[in-house]
Amino acid sequence: MKRIGITVGSDEDSGIPSYFKKNKKKFLILDDMIDSSNGYPYDYAIFAEAKSFEKKYNVEIVPLDGKNLDIKECNKCDFIFCIYEGTFNFMYFGNDAFNHYINTLKKTKAIVYPSVKMQEFILYKNRYMKYLDKKCYDIIDTKYIPIKTYKSDKSRVLDGIEKFIVKNDYKKIIIKPELAGFKHGIKIYKSISMKNIKKHLDFIGKSTEYKHLLLQPFLEDFNKTWEIKTYWVLGKHVFSYGQKVSGDDFAFTKPKSKGGKLDDRLVNKVLKIGKELLKDLFNDYETLIQCRIDFGCCVKGDKEHYFINEIEVCPTLSLEDAKEPYFHKIAEAVIKHCLMN
């Protein structure tokens, strides 16, 4: 019997209480693990879904504490599926916790999905953005700023930033940290001042543990149009949804064909790109059990021009994102993929 460990540890509510109420028996196991009074986090919910397949596939499904991975527990597993990812550890517990997460996965005897190599490829955005550019996918212009280099030679780094801005005639920019999410650490400059940029970089270098920053043109229409987020399981499209951000508020919608406001023509357009990208990633790196590809708009105000904004291989999930429940699909895909390898 194969043993599959699933990393858990988030507190992000996965939504749709009616689904969990209807399938209460399946999720009872979680009541002894977490405080479920406010709902079930997505990673725990997927763990419970996988647990329900144990008899069907003759496997053992066990939870692994993603906040503090134990190498002994990891080594008891034949496979480890990472739902809870290292970014959470970095954001909430710091660089040491992130390094512990990554290093434990590197040391374990278990086969890890996604592999540590793939997780690092995606987490360190400069790596996959170079790959996308090489493969001729549309991406947004990005200046990568290593904080270590900035600390050792501020003048050279600031000069490079200024040249990047002037060369591209950017009037507004956005600076965001690597290994962050949910808008953490983002700085927008609608009036560019090198003095203020230096002040921000000094603060990052002195008061945070961020290692790299990404500087990009600020697209005024980005949050006025729907960012299209597409979700895939083993290369097959499961659902797509739209997101807009205004201050601290998030708005979501579904494609018009599913009762929402998102233009199906644009969705189909980006799905073709997503399908091609996954084909490339599977051929050049590895098969991904799950993946979310986000498409942003609008370079030079062109509302037909969507580019690949982000790739996530351990995305935060919510049942509300899709028209139908899908956590069971991920859970079964995890088991099937592990048993095939």
pLDDT digits (tens, 9 = 90+) for 194-220: 999 999 999 999 988 999 999 999 988
**Phi, psi of 245, deg, nearest 5:** -120, 130
- The label of the residue with tokens 């201050």 reads 247
* Domains, in order of start, for the chain: 2-114+329-339 (3.40.50), 124-137+221-313 (3.30.470.20), 143-217 (3.30.1490.20)
- Over residues 262-313, the pLDDT tens digits come to 999 999 999 999 999 999 999 999 999 999 999 999 877 777 889 999 999 9
pTM: 0.93
How many H-runs (helices) and E-runs (strands) does the chain carry? 14, 13
CB of 237 within 8 A of CB of 275?
Answer: yes
State both tokens at 93: 């517990």
Cis peptide, bond prior to residue 146, ω within 30 of zero: no
